[in-house]
Chain A
Amino acid sequence: MKQFIAFVKKEFHHIFRDRRTMFILLGMPVVQIIIFGFALTNEVKNSRVAILDPSKDAATTSLIAQIEASRYFEVDQYIHSTNEIETIFRKGKIKLAIIFPSHFREDLQHFNKAQVQLIADASDPNVANTLTSYASAIIMDYQNRITNDRKLPYTINTEMRMLYNPELKGAYNFVPGVMAMVLLLVCTMMTAITIVKEKEMGTMEIMLVSPMKPLKVVLAKAVPYLLLSSVNIASILLLSVFVLEVPINGSLTLLVAESLLFTLVSLALGLLISTKVDSQQTALFISLVGLLLPTVMLSGFMFPIENMPLPLQVVSNAVPAKWYYTIVRSVMIKGTGFQAVWKETLILAGMLFFFLGLAIKNFKIRLA
């Protein structure tokens, strides 16, 4: 045990004496949360919209004029049928379509009630969300204004439809996404790199020739990163709650426990990489390309998994971050309890034992 503590102490010396690494380890999560937080919730300006207006009456013209007048929107084109929406969305320039019914003004005047449909391209859920809420605000505003002159209120029902991503995944999703990314980077990449660094430096040779059990060496290297990750989990959660105002709806204890589980999975992956690789460069490369990329692309954080081709959906099941991401979203944003995420937890636990087992099996007590 004394050996183990001495080793952990040494590892902290390495970390604390290398200011650059320290900054990356502890500063990166903060920077990422802030960048993602502000970049993704940024205001949308002069977004192009398409309009289907079969009634072409005074009411629709006036409402369209108001939409056009706002700084958020620019009417790009008028379409003639809802069938065209797919086509224009696919071209990519237009993100929102506003659909009026055939007799908008008549509906309002006779029934005091009319419908407007907003259809958004939700493949970028944040933009879709912002656009629809701006558009409905303008419509509400119009409704209030025309109601002012009358006793009986007009009601304009706005019906929203999200194309491609109906559940609008992604609105607050960057917080769980960044958590997955940061933990993976800190744990997997840093553990793999520091272990491989000892191989490169030649100190691993001395460690192997020492009476200290090789497995102990490797585990001792992982401990500091586990602790650093806890600091990161805390700082990400604090930032999300107090700066970005993303609430933690579920149990904090459950959230932290799940995060620690994912941290352990990442550490096991780091150890596994380190048993296979001999240079820091390769370790870095494998961590980035082999892990970070799938985490960003296939965890559901950037792109909804439901819309991916089947083979990619299957592959995404092997990405640990996908399961962690689902758990965090459920617990943190939907506020569900353990009963809702036990399956994902079990999968992560299974992955932990699989990777750890493989790492131990591959671990060499000799150089070659």
Chain B
Amino acid sequence: MSAVIINNIIKRYGSKKAVITALQGISFDVKQGELFGIIGPDGAGKTSLFRILTTLLLADEGTATVDGFDVVKDYKSIRQRVGYMPGKFSLYQDLTVKENLDFFATIFNTTVEENYVLIKDIYSQIEPFKDRKAGKLSGGMKQKLALSCALIHRPSVLFLDEPTTGVDAVSRKEFWEMLTRLKEQGITILVSTPYMDEASLCDRVALIQSGKILSINTPQGIVDSFGKKLLAVKSNDMLHLLKDLKQCKEVEDAYPFGEYHHVVLKKDGEELLKSYLEQKGYLFKLKEAKPNIEDCFMALMKTS
């Protein structure tokens, strides 16, 4: 059985004059026990989708079920069994770590002791600070507390809306390690993020842009479907190199990518490109590159 089934969801905002369609007919399934990533920039519709699935918003069209329950009809049952961590840090800043956790446990009709096993791994890291006010915690610790609170009632499906936004690379990495361990406990996890590099840590991902799904696949599957030749080029004058690359006939797209510029070729024009750059007088280093999710996302953005 699928943990989440989404069928042609459409969500519009605004009045008659200026309608913004945040979700333009989205459909996908998430399997039980899957770590599913929804990857896209701000404004892609990630939060709207999460709010519809957590019964906080009503879709204008389409249907969705979570754990077999309809998000409109059975919203009460869904609220009993999902965990949700909204994008904003949403714990009580003036309550201590322990007070927050106890409070959420009671609200969800359980106790901290009952499900301690589930959160032990995460909560033990902040337990030394259990009498500190939540507002005084560091970003990474706040996040761990929020995750503990979202997990305290052992939800069957966990929704994490941009848990790593604004968090530094170290804390992000730790967070994803925690998610991987949680998955082993059999919890289905839906996580959204604007960071493309986090896609590779998911079982499957949906790439989303302007309310539309660009692609749904395993991270490997997405990379494999790139289908064009990708080169990495660098020289001592990266700015002019980029401008010249964009003007080359053989080049479909060129953009900075870390130390190199990535170049998507139209056909197999590698030799032609080399001579073009030599003719322009560049001292350059050119190698073949493996596309990653970000390359795919950009390619899909341009074709859709």
Touching in the complex, A and B, CB below 8 A? yes
Residues on A lying within 8 angstroms of B by beta carbon are 2-3, 6-7, 10, 13-14, 17-18, 201-203, 205-212, 365-368
Nearest Cβ on chain A to B88's Cβ, whole angstroms: 4
Chain B 90-111 residues near chain A, CB threshold 8 A: 90-95, 99, 102-104, 106-109
Task: Using A10-B92, A10-B95 as known contacts, say yes or no to A209 and B107 having CB atoms under 8 A apart.
Answer: no
A365 touches B75 (CB 8 A): yes
Complex CA gap A363/B89 in Å reads 24
CB-CB under 8 A from A208, the residues of chain B are 55-56, 79
Complex CA gap A129/B79 in Å reads 64
Task: Using A210-B79, A211-B80 as known contacts, say yes or no to A13 and B95 having CB atoms under 8 A apart.
Answer: yes
Complex CA gap A211/B90 in Å reads 17
A6 touches B54 (CB 8 A): no
A205 touches B56 (CB 8 A): yes
A201 touches B88 (CB 8 A): yes
* A-B residue pairs in contact (CB < 8 Å), sample of 24: A6-B106, A10-B92, A13-B99, A17-B94, A201-B88, A203-B90, A203-B92, A205-B51, A205-B54, A205-B86, A205-B90, A206-B86, A206-B104, A208-B55, A209-B84, A210-B107, A211-B79, A211-B109, A212-B107, A366-B56, A366-B57, A366-B58, A366-B75, A367-B57
Nearest Cβ on chain B to A201's Cβ, whole angstroms: 6
A6 touches B108 (CB 8 A): no
Nearest Cβ on chain A to B60's Cβ, whole angstroms: 11
Nearest Cβ on chain A to B83's Cβ, whole angstroms: 8
B109 touches A201 (CB 8 A): no
B94 touches A13 (CB 8 A): yes
Complex CA gap A7/B94 in Å reads 14
Complex CA gap A209/B79 in Å reads 5
A202 touches B92 (CB 8 A): no
Which one of B54, B92, B108 contacts A211 once the chains associate, using CB atoms below 8 Å? B108
A203 touches B56 (CB 8 A): no
Q: Interface size for chain B: under 10, 10 to 19, 20 to 34, or 35 or more residues?
A: 20 to 34
Nearest Cβ on chain B to A328's Cβ, whole angstroms: 35
Complex CA gap A115/B220 in Å reads 108
Nearest Cβ on chain B to A299's Cβ, whole angstroms: 35
CB-CB under 8 A from B82, the residues of chain A are 209
Complex CA gap A210/B80 in Å reads 6
Chain A: which residue is nearest B108 at the CB level?
A210
CB-CB under 8 A from B51, the residues of chain A are 205, 367
Complex CA gap A202/B51 in Å reads 12
Chain A: which residue is nearest B56 at the CB level?
A367
Which one of A18, A207, A212 contacts B94 once the chains associate, using CB atoms below 8 Å? A18
Task: Using A205-B84, A367-B56 as known contacts, say yes or no to A3 and B90 having CB atoms under 8 A apart.
Answer: no
CB-CB under 8 A from A3, the residues of chain B are 106-107, 109
A7 touches B88 (CB 8 A): no
CB-CB under 8 A from A209, the residues of chain B are 54-56, 79, 82, 84
CB-CB under 8 A from B92, the residues of chain A are 10, 13-14, 201, 203
CB-CB under 8 A from A211, the residues of chain B are 76, 79-80, 107-109
CB-CB under 8 A from B57, the residues of chain A are 366-368
Task: Using A209-B82, A366-B56, A367-B51 as known contacts, say yes or no to A6 and B107 having CB atoms under 8 A apart.
Answer: yes
B55 touches A366 (CB 8 A): yes
Which one of B56, B87, B90, B103 contacts A10 once the chains associate, using CB atoms below 8 Å? B103
Contact with A along B137-156 (1 / 0, CB 8 A): 00000000000011000000
CB-CB under 8 A from B108, the residues of chain A are 210-211
CB-CB under 8 A from B93, the residues of chain A are 201
CB-CB under 8 A from A212, the residues of chain B are 107
Complex CA gap A269/B95 in Å reads 28
Nearest Cβ on chain A to B130's Cβ, whole angstroms: 15
CB-CB under 8 A from B99, the residues of chain A are 10, 13
Chain A: which residue is nearest B111 at the CB level?
A2
Which one of B58, B76, B80, B107 contacts A207 once the chains associate, using CB atoms below 8 Å? B107
Nearest Cβ on chain B to A290's Cβ, whole angstroms: 25
CB-CB under 8 A from A365, the residues of chain B are 75
Please indicate which of the listed interface residues A2, A10, A209 has the most CB atoms of chain B within 10 Å of its own CB: A209
Nearest Cβ on chain B to A17's Cβ, whole angstroms: 5
CB-CB under 8 A from A201, the residues of chain B are 88, 90, 92-93
Complex CA gap A35/B84 in Å reads 50
Complex CA gap A211/B92 in Å reads 18
Nearest Cβ on chain B to A227's Cβ, whole angstroms: 19
Complex CA gap A14/B149 in Å reads 19
CB-CB under 8 A from A205, the residues of chain B are 51, 54, 56, 84, 86, 90
A14 touches B56 (CB 8 A): no
Complex CA gap A282/B86 in Å reads 24
Complex CA gap A130/B91 in Å reads 56
Which one of B87, B91, B109, B150 contacts A203 once the chains associate, using CB atoms below 8 Å? B91
CB-CB under 8 A from B58, the residues of chain A are 366, 368
CB-CB under 8 A from B91, the residues of chain A are 203
Chain B: which residue is nearest A201 at the CB level?
B90
Chain A: which residue is nearest B106 at the CB level?
A6
Nearest Cβ on chain B to A217's Cβ, whole angstroms: 9
Complex CA gap A203/B84 in Å reads 11
Which one of B75, B88, B94 contacts A14 once the chains associate, using CB atoms below 8 Å? B94
CB-CB under 8 A from B90, the residues of chain A are 201-203, 205-206
